[in-house]
């Protein structure tokens, strides 16, 4: 029983980390109809931000997150203006490969600038553990978990309770009509994209003390995040959160039962199955899968 609880706790914690990435990715898709293949690269940049501030100035990641996140936000603004905005409404090939190109670019720019060396960061939280009812929870992961859920909640409230949030939803549902409501559609795109990638960057900072940092670290996450957002229904924020937690638990459970490698296979198989049987995802709206571009 203890073991089962521990497996679930592990899954939930890691799922919370995924959630912060997945919420942003799903939001970008929902509003811009762009699958942001470069999403996890912003997490990688966030991790490097945390590393350099820590290595050069001894800044704790829990402080540097307030510096790095705005920088990544600005980077998001630039990327939106230069790349993403130009691909919106274009053929699938543009929409898919523009951000895929960005991902290759950022990954290798990091490789060229900072080499493949593996780096790591520590904070007071590294290695500290709470024990709740015999279940051990890493402090660092619990912090990131809490931030992820708070972010998702804040985003959800923003989208459904504020006028501007509803404006962004309006853009997601019909660009032309939204423009006719006086909504600055380009600005909505920019804000959506930048907020989402800034969240990925923040997540990078927060997990820097948990994972090691190297240029391809984003790649270790991105496919899992895709699985999550499709499972949750592309475009659905609550769906992404629930699916992230679910995937976390499935992975940790399947990994324990079948071994990591075959557990991995199992969950990709589930992913394919969901795509085939219920492409709108578990919580998505029917028809979303045929929106395409």
Residues 97-116 that bind other proteins (CB under 8 A): 97-98, 100-109, 111-112, 115-116
Q: Site residues for other proteins, window 244-283 (CB under 8 A)?
A: 251-256, 259-265, 268-269, 271-272, 275-276, 279
72 vs 119 by CB, closer to other proteins? 119
Residue 123 C-beta: closest distance to other proteins, Å: 8
Size of the site for other proteins (CB under 8 A): 108
Q: Site residues for other proteins, window 53-72 (CB under 8 A)?
A: none
Determine, following the binding rule CB under 8 A, whether residue 233 of this chain makes contact with other proteins. Answer: no
Q: Which of 158, 219, 278, 283 binds other proteins (CB under 8 A)?
A: 219
135 vs 149 by CB, closer to other proteins? 135
Q: Which of 5, 74, 78, 129 binds other proteins (CB under 8 A)?
A: 129
Q: Which of 60, 63, 216, 282 binds other proteins (CB under 8 A)?
A: 216
Q: Which of 56, 58, 133, 290 binds other proteins (CB under 8 A)?
A: 290
Q: Site residues for other proteins, window 147-206 (CB under 8 A)?
A: 163, 166-167, 169-170, 173-174, 176-186
Question: Which span (65-73, 150-158, 192-200, 285-293) binds other proteins, by CB under 8 A?
Answer: 285-293
**What is the Cα–Cα distance from 222 to 262, expressed in whole angstroms?**
19
SS (H, E, C) the chain: CHHHHHHHHHHHHHHHHHHHHHHHHHHHHHHHCCCCCCHHHHHHHHHHHHHHHHHHHCCCHHHHHHHHHHHHHHHHHHHHHHHHHHHCCCCHHHHHHHHHHHHHHHHHHHHHHHCCCCECCCCCCCCCEEEECCEEEEHHHHHHHHHHHHHHHHHHHHHHHCHHHHHHHHHHHCHHHHHHCCCCHHHHHHHHHHHHHHHHHHHHHHHCCCCCECHHHHHHHHHHHHHHHHHHCCCCHHHHHHHHHHHHHHHHHHHHHHCHHHHHHHHHHHHHHHHHHCCCCCCCCCCHHHCCC
70 vs 256 by CB, closer to other proteins? 256
Residue 42 C-beta: closest distance to other proteins, Å: 15
| Binding-site string for other proteins from residue 22 to residue 51, where x marks contact by CB under 8 A and - marks none | -------x-----x----------------
Q: Are 200 and 39 in contact (CB under 8 A)?
A: yes
């Amino acid at each position: 029983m203890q073991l089962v609880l521990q497996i679930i706790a592990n899954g939930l914690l890691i799922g919370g980390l995924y959630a912060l990435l997945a919420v942003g990715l799903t939001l970008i898709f929902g509003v811009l109809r762009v699958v942001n293949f470069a999403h996890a690269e912003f997490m990688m940049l966030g991790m490097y931000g945390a590393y350099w501030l820590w290595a050069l100035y001894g800044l704790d990641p829990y402080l540097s997150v307030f510096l790095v996140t705005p920088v990544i936000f600005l980077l998001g603004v630039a990327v939106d203006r230069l790349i993403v905005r130009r691909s919106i409404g274009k053929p699938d090939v543009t929409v898919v490969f523009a951000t895929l190109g960005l991902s290759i670019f950022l990954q290798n720019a990091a490789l060229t600038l900072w080499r493949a060396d593996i780096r790591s960061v520590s904070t007071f939280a590294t290695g500290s553990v709470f024990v709740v009812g015999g279940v051990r929870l890493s402090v660092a992961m619990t912090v990131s978990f809490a931030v992820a859920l708070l972010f998702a909640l804040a985003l959800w409230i923003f989208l459904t309770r504020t006028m501007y949030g509803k404006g962004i939803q309006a853009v997601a549902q019909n660009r032309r009509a939204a423009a006719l409501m006086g909504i600055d559609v380009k600005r909505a795109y920019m804000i959506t994209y930048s907020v989402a990638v800034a969240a990925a960057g923040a997540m990078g900072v927060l997990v820097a003390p948990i994972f090691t940092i190297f240029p391809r670290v984003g790649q270790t996450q991105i496919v899992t995040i895709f699985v999550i957002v499709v499972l949750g229904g592309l475009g659905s924020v609550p769906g992404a959160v629930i699916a992230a937690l679910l995937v976390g638990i499935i992975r940790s459970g399947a990994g324990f039962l079948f071994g990591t490698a075959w557990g991995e296979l199992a969950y990709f198989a589930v992913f394919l199955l969901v795509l085939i049987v219920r492409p709108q995802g578990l919580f998505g709206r029917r028809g979303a899968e045929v929106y395409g571009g």
